[in-house]
Amino acid sequence: MRIGVLVAGLAMALTPTMADAHNCKCRNRGVMFELGQTACLRVDGGSYLARCEMKLNVSSWTRIQEGCPVTERSLKRPALTTWPLRQVM
């Protein structure tokens, strides 16, 4: 009976510690990322997209794809407006 109470008490005492262990984050160039977030990692002159995950109770980056997505923005030129010409007399 005493062993059962001791085991239950120990399990309850360790529960907050176990919950805190899963509050891990990954770091990329000084920026912290939550588990599940993605980032573009630049390593040895190359880059790849990676996700922050837990592996063996340690936060780690997992490669998702080679290269990183690039957003393109087009430089739209303003439309030329033609002004009505007035005849001068």
pLDDT tens track for 23-58: 789 999 999 999 999 999 999 999 999 999 999 989
Would residue 4 count as lying in a domain? no
Provide the number of structural domains found in the chain. 1
pLDDT of residue 13 exceeding 60, the answer is no
Would residue 60 count as lying in a domain? yes
Beta bridge partners of 32: 27
Of residues 78 and 31, more confidence is placed in 31
Other Cβ atoms closer than 10 A to 26: 23
Would residue 40 count as lying in a domain? yes
Residue type, 40: C
pLDDT interval class at 73 (50, 70, 90): confident
Would residue 77 count as lying in a domain? no
**3 state SS of 21:** helix
Domain of residue 51, residue span:
34-70
